[in-house]
Amino acid sequence: MNNFPRSAYVHIPFCHRRCFYCDFAVIPLGNKVETLQGYGSKTVKEYLHFLSREILSIEHKSSLSTIYIGGGTPSILDPKQIKELIDLFKENYGIDYGAEITMEVDPASFNQNDLYGFINAGINRFSLGVQSFNNQILQKSGRRHLREDAEKSCLWLQREYDSGLIKSWSLDLIQNLPLSGFKEWQDDLKKAITFSPPHISIYDLNIENGTVFKKLVNSGKLKLPNDEEAFKNGESTYLILKNSGYSRYEISNYCLPGHQSRHNRVYWSGSGWWSFGQGSTSSPWGEKLTRPRVSKEYKKWVNSQYEINLDSSLINKDYVYKELDEKIMLGLRLKEGIDIHEVFKEQHWGNRKFERNLSKLLKEWESFLESGLLVRKGNRFFLSDPKGMELSNQIIISMFIWWDRIN
């Protein structure tokens, strides 16, 4: 019998407004939302009711070692509502002593009193979505907060970390936003490290369908850094953070010693996790399930879990459905890479098929190994840092091509 998942992701879809690069399952509520009483509170309470029903629908529960409350903008919620969510897990699943409980916060959506409220509710790690400290870049990206909001939020979080009230916190930035040239990006990085966040996430801007940025790109009204400029920005990220004591443990993530995100490592390592909320994706035993992205459909789906029975992917199985290509992709994102023989063994291929498929993959990777983008030590393969990490898409795409061919 397989072990039950020990990690849970909870999606809070509410935002004040949708950022210009965002294609997540979010519900913009405007600037005047009050989640306990007043404008927008009915929408929020109704969603939280269905979210709670979904959390309670799981039959085989186990104590959790990580919980991650993401969005959207979870810090729109009142601390009382966050406490109710955490208490729901505590009473029905159990939460391990020393569990990592993370919550995403937006600089324009909380104050010091809220922060203390979230900590008292049980949050011990925060992920702060700064994205940039440059007001022009923030405005061009549709962000609601300003530089001074971000700076205040960083100071509050660092003070609570220094005092021992929280275990860690992360500062998130987005690389290659409009107007973010080489100098602007270096300024953002240097500003970020003045606050000594234990963890820093650096996300590359992706232009997704349906976003404001996609429409502007299609109409020729959005100028973004070209590939050469983007690579230069990436190199500067690595050098500045490395020289400041940060270690890159995953393509987009850097930390000081002892501050890797335990929750995110669950995804990258291929372990199972629960997921709850509109548009979220769970994978408790290998098979993925994505909830509906639209509120009405999500609520209907939650009700069906009780009326028709749980989706098959949420029921404990004696087998694990493996997506080999995704497992290799996730493994390569990590600093330590992946043991290709161990991953292949899980496919239960015969010796001849095993060797034939491995030979074909090595052929696809031959040029990357020769150029040093990809490094091999025995059966373990990992991306060189920084060059391999920055050009990882080329290597991962070649692996997907291999996977399509052998299937």
Q: Is the pLDDT of residue 1 over 80?
A: no
CATH of the domain at 384: 1.10.10
If asked whether residues 77 and 169 sit together in one domain, one would say yes
d(CA 13, CA 280): 10
If asked whether residues 238 and 118 sit together in one domain, one would say yes
Judge whether 278 lies within some domain. no
Judge whether 376 lies within some domain. yes
If asked whether residues 70 and 177 sit together in one domain, one would say yes
Cβ atoms within 10 Å of 322's Cβ, excluding its own:
15
% the chain with pLDDT above 90? 79
Q: Is the separation of the CB atoms in 141 and 162 below 8 Å?
A: no
Residue with tokens 């769970």: 282
H/E stretch holding 248:
strand 247-250
Judge whether 401 lies within some domain. yes
If asked whether residues 354 and 239 sit together in one domain, one would say no
If asked whether residues 29 and 124 sit together in one domain, one would say yes
d(CA 97, CA 63): 10
* pLDDT confidence of residue 322: 60
Average pLDDT value for residue range 42-67: 94
pLDDT tens digits along 104-139: 999 999 999 999 999 999 999 999 999 999 999 999
pLDDT tens digits along 253-273: 999 999 999 999 998 887 889
d(CA 233, CA 231): 5
If asked whether residues 234 and 347 sit together in one domain, one would say no
Cβ atoms within 10 Å of 18's Cβ, excluding its own:
15
Judge whether 139 lies within some domain. yes
Q: Is the pLDDT of residue 2 over 60?
A: no
If asked whether residues 174 and 253 sit together in one domain, one would say yes
Average pLDDT value for residue range 23-37: 89
47 CB-contact burial (10 Å; exposed 0-12 / middle 13-18 / buried 19+): buried
Angle at 11 between CA 8 and CA 14, to 5 degrees: 160
Within 13 Å of residue 241, how many CA atoms lie on the same side as its CB? 29
Judge whether 287 lies within some domain. no
If asked whether residues 242 and 354 sit together in one domain, one would say no
d(CA 10, CA 25): 13
Q: The pTM is what?
A: 0.94
Judge whether 362 lies within some domain. yes
Output DSSP code: residue 75: G
Residue-number span of the structural domain to which 177 is assigned: 7-269
The domain boundary, picked from 227, 247, 269, lies at 269
If asked whether residues 132 and 227 sit together in one domain, one would say yes
The domain boundary, picked from 269, 298, 314, lies at 269
Domain count, the chain: 2
Judge whether 308 lies within some domain. no
If asked whether residues 84 and 217 sit together in one domain, one would say yes
pLDDT tens digits along 297-334: 999 999 999 888 888 888 876 555 567 898 899 999 99
The domain boundary, picked from 269, 285, 315, lies at 269
* pLDDT confidence of residue 287: 84
If asked whether residues 338 and 197 sit together in one domain, one would say no
Judge whether 1 lies within some domain. no
If asked whether residues 250 and 339 sit together in one domain, one would say no
pLDDT tens digits along 188-224: 999 999 999 999 999 999 999 999 999 999 999 998 8
CATH of the domain at 231: 3.20.20.70
